[in-house]
Each structure stands twice: as C-alpha cells, then as structure tokens.
Amino acid sequence: MKDNTYLAGTILVAALIIAGSIIYAFAPTRPQISLSDNNAATYNLPPLKADLPYEQTMGEGGDVVLGDTNSLVKIVEYGDYQCPFCEKFFKESESRIREQYIGSGKANMIYKDLIVIDGFVAGGHESADSALAANCAADQNKFWEYHDALFTVEGLDGKENNGNLTKELFLKIADSLGLNKTVFEICYDSRKYDAEVTADTEEASKDLERLSTPSTLINGELVAGAVPFAEFAKVVDKYIK
C-alpha cells in the first residue's frame, strides 16, 4: 500500500509539472527562516517599457483596467510579484493575451494582489511592498508599466525573499519609467495603499476556493496556475463566440 501511494503521488506531481499548472498557495510546508539570513541584492535594471500600447482606466476599488472597459471578456488575475509561476504566466502567456485579446478590444484585464510568499518567511514583506509600489505608480498612470517592470526584474533572479525588492529598487524602477520620484516616494513612505493590498487578498478569499497564485478568473471562470496560452485561449474564446 505504501508503494502504491508513493507511485500515485509521483504520477500526480509529474502531471502537474507537465501541465504547467504549478501554483503557490498558503500554508507552505517549508521551514520558517529569518530575513536576517538573506543578503540584500542589487540589480542593474534591464530595459523596461515606459509606455504600453493599451488603454488604462482607473476602475472601481482602485483597480486599473488594461484595455477596453466595455469588452465582452473580463480577465482578473490574482498574483504575487515574488511568485515564479506568476512571472512564468507574465512572460509566456500574458503577452499573447494582450496581443490577441486586449489589443483587439475583445477582453480587458485587472491585476489584484494576493500576498502569498511573504508568509514563507518570518517577517516577510517584499510581496506586499512590491504591491504597494505598483499602486503608487498607478497615481501617475503607470500601474501596468510598473507591474511589468516588477515581474521583469524579479524574473532575473527567481529567488524569493532574498532582500532584493527594496525601496531603493522601487525608486530606480520609478525613475526608469519616467515617474516623478518625489511624488512616488511620498506615496510609498506613507503606505498609502496598504489597506487596498490587504483588501485584494481578503477579496481573493471570497472569490477563490483555494488561495493560490496565479489564479485567473475569465468572466468568473477559474483558470488556476501558469497554464499555456492555448488553455487560456480556449476559455476566452468561449465568451467571444
């Protein structure tokens, strides 16, 4: 019986990896570590896109809608800026979603914060800090540019809770995107959007049966994990035809 259980578990894990649907969830089994064990990392920023070719509109609750607000399809992603599978989704699928659906006016997209990875270490805060920084960028109409920059920079390393997502880095990104650094810094230091980040995570507990990242709702239908673009397209196309 023990051998059969092990075999079944191995098959399940292999299937999840092949499907590309691995996700991060609360209640990790890894041991807690102290942030003092991590050395702060400093990055030279890669080229970042300071302007995106899509309409951005401030919606209800402070969410910034990417694309036509009247689109037939509403895509809502719950993500964490430290989540490697969110970065995988951003890099491999989201660009094609934007090209095929956002750019054509068939769909729009909202990103909501679901803070997961901070819980993997004692006193973790980099995911929440990143979410705060992105919301401050929204004050200067650069939310999605900043969102993209965070995933681009974090994707260079791929490590979590390593101390790289600092105020210094956030200011470098703001400067690279052409933001007013003084205005951005005042917003960040005041923790202006802490309550909104918390509210997003609380909202996720109502919208999702399992709190995991990335979790994407397409007209309310859940697509869990960083699945290939074709899997997203199947769901989106149902609501267009």
Structural domain total, the chain? 1
Closest by CA position to 130, among listed 89, 177, 171? 171
Closest by CA position to 85, among listed 25, 133, 172, 34? 25
Alpha-carbon distance of 166 to 37, in angstroms, equals 16
**Residue pair 42/153 in contact by the 8 Å Cβ criterion:** no
Peptide bond into 84 cis (omega under 30): no
Q: What is the average pLDDT score of the chain? A: 86
- Which pLDDT band, with edges at 50, 70 and 90, does 241 fall under? confident
pTM of the model: 0.84
Q: Which amino acid is at 119?
A: G
Alpha-carbon distance of 211 to 214, in angstroms, equals 9
Query: The domain spanning residue 206 has which CATH number?
Result: 3.40.30.10
What is each CA distance from 184 to 122, 153, 229, 235, in whole angstroms? 28, 19, 34, 37
- Which pLDDT band, with edges at 50, 70 and 90, does 229 fall under? very high
Domain that holds residue 183: 2-240
For residue 232, pLDDT beyond 80: yes
**Residue pair 227/23 in contact by the 8 Å Cβ criterion:** no
Alpha-carbon distance of 121 to 128, in angstroms, equals 13
Residue 196's pLDDT is what? 95
Residue 52's pLDDT is what? 96
The share of the chain scoring above pLDDT 70, in percent, equals: 82
Give per-residue pLDDT as tens, 18-30: 343 445 554 443 3
